[in-house]
Amino acid sequence: MIELKGSRFTRILPNNLAGQTRTQALAYAVGRQVDKLLAMADRMVIWADLDRVPEQLLDYLAAELRTPAYSADYPVETKRTLVRQSLLFYAAMGTPGAVDQLIQAIFSTGQMEEWCEYGGEPHHFRATIGAGGITIGPESLEELRRVLASVKRLSSWLDSIATITPVESRPVRAASALCGTISRTTLPPIEEGQHA
C-alpha cells in the first residue's frame, strides 16, 4: 500500500519520465500539496477524535447539536462529555436515565431518586449531587433546576436538590473528669386526661 504522506510521486513513474527535471518538479509540487491536504483532513476529524477538538469548536458543536444543559462556563472536560452524549440525551429525553446521565456529566457524581424510593408523592423526584470540585451556590442550583427541567418528563416535579460536599475535618481529642455527684429523678408518666 502506498503511503501518501511524504511520498515522492516519481517513484511510481516509469524511469524515462522520473528522470526528467520538469517531471520531478511537478511531482515535488504535487507532493507538497497532498501533504497540506492530508494535514487539513486530519483537522477535519472531529467525532472520531473529540478529545483533541479545541474548546471553541466544542461550543460550535454544542450549538449545532442543541446540546441540553450546555454552558460555555463549564470546564472543557464537562463540555466534551455533554457534546459526546448529546444524541444519547435526545434518545433518552424524558426518562430518569436522561436525568441521571445529565447529573453525572456535569457533576461527575449524583443521582436522581424517584418518589417511590424515598416516600414522596407520585410523579415527584429529587436529585442528589456531589460537589466534586465545582462551587455550588444559589445561581448554580437555579441553573441545575433549569437544566433538569429541560430533560425531565413533563409530568414530573422536582422536590429538592441535595448537595453532598466533602468536608475535611481534623480529629479532636476530648477528655472529661467526674467531679461531684450525679442524681437521677424519674417522674411518673402523665395519664391521659390529667393536666400538668
- pLDDT at residue 94 tops 60: yes
Residue 129's pLDDT band (boundaries 50, 70, 90)? confident
The stretch 71-83 carries a mean pLDDT of 89
Q: How far apart are CA 135 and CA 168, in angstroms?
A: 16
Q: How far apart are CA 37 and CA 35, in angstroms?
A: 5
Q: How far apart are CA 50 and CA 53, in angstroms?
A: 5
To the nearest 10 degrees (0 to 180), the angle between helices 138-151 and 96-107 is 150
In which element (H, E) is residue 99 found?
A: helix 96-107
Residue 83's pLDDT band (boundaries 50, 70, 90)? very high
- pLDDT at residue 54 tops 80: yes
Task: Note the pLDDT of residue 24.
Answer: 85
